[in-house]
Structure 1
């Protein structure tokens, strides 16, 4: 997963996933503009395996996180990160771009949020969960300065017998996903770190679980 080589960048052309835009508007009569990205909304699911009292996550390589780690490095020339071949990419481990996340997916098909959530849980983590077993947590707006996309969060309590597949994502789409199980204590230690390679929705769901579900799982 973290064997990353031959890193390079180029200007973005047509994309199914993101669309760069510049919005022009007036605020209180003053003309303004703002650069942004139009992206798909998403759903994410916090999975609790009650058979063994573990939380189930996914680990995968995220190019944006990896590239961001290069840009923040003191030895990196930012101009080389933007376009072309980053000067120090060959010397940086791919682990710098590997994140721990909730099972999640884009809302890019004509299905309900719950149907997409169910598909992602089966595809990424291998659990076959009925629609009525998903509990809605909350939705929020992510990346308010860049995308304004909405993330819808759900919770699913599962048991070992519901795992009907190995998960790991869709190889046809090039997905390389590792299913990760963590005990409550391991999760608590992970989110207590100073530097956490996980998105905000992950952290929100963990603290939501601690507040609303932890006593039930003990």
Structure 2
């Protein structure tokens, strides 16, 4: 279980990963503006272990997800009605600041999500396949040649805010390829748990809304079911 404490929310005035901008433009004669964030593109990898017939995912704490859950705890609730059926001004709930609601922080598990192995495209001297290979090794502990990565597709994510592109790959591994426990790079602040999802449970996992996961997990499991599952002659529980 993650342990999260000493939380402090402050304005972000400078970042190595996000740059806020506002663009103004005319669209069909109408003047418009839009706020957006410039950020890195990324890669993700659907990893399938052919020795144990399971998918290899990562599980980690995501501050953005956690803060979204926290926002729910400080949403004003409808005031209770007085006997006459009217709520007095003093009874109206007010939004709480981060400091005021320090005792209302949700458990750390509220910010934990299941994801594909992934990473930022921030090394211009490396190909997308080489970046993906590094992420598989660092996060999940499997040493896979870049040439063995199959490109699935690329797509835009966060089109309303970032518009960044993610390129998704598929990698088949075996127990023989496992050279470490993975877990990411601690010196970079990564605390990643490697998770195995059996093939026969994959689609149940994908559609279970109680399990917090990224769209990449859902899409890639469906892709595997449509393109790779017949090869292994094992039901993916659809």
Once residues 91 and 162 of structure 1 are traced to their aligned partners in structure 2, the CA distance between those partners, rounded to angstroms, is: 41
Does residue 124 (structure 1) correspond to residue 139 (structure 2)? The answer is yes
Pick the aligned partner of 1:109 from 118, 123, 127: 123
Q: Name the residue aligned to 1:200.
A: 215
| 1:57-111 C-alpha deviation (Å, 9 max, x unpaired) | 00000000011112234x5459546xx4471565411000000000000001111
Answer yes or no: is the 8 Å Cα contact 2:157–2:164 preserved in 1: yes
Alignment of 1:34-53 (within 5 A): 34-53=34-53
RMSD: 1.8
Task: Give ranges in structure 2 of 5+ residues lacking alignment.
Answer: 77-93
- Larger Rg belongs to: 2
Structure 1: which 4+ aligned runs deviate by more than 6 Å?
none
Show the counterpart of 1:18.
18
CA distance in 2, matches of 1:86, 1:129: 49
Aligned partners of 1:9, 1:25: CA distance in 2, in Å? 33
Match of 2:171 among 136, 153, 156: 156
Q: Which runs of 5+ in 1 are unaligned?
A: none
Q: Distance in 2 between matches of 1:2 and 1:122?
A: 23
Distance across 2 between alignment mates of 1:159 and 1:204: 23
For 2:128 and 2:156, the matched residues in 1 are separated by 15
Aligned length: 215
Q: 1:167 and 1:186, CA in 2 relative to 1: closer, same or farther beyond 3 A?
A: same
Quick check: 1:5–1:90 contact (8 Å CA) kept in 2?
Answer: no
The answer to whether the 8 A contact 2:70-2:105 is kept is no
User: CA 1:89–1:120 in 2, change beyond 3 Å: closer, same or farther?
Assistant: farther
| TM-score normalised over the length of structure 2 | 0.85
Contact 2:203–2:222 (CA under 8 A) maintained in structure 1: no
Q: Which residue of 1 aligns with 2:65?
A: 65
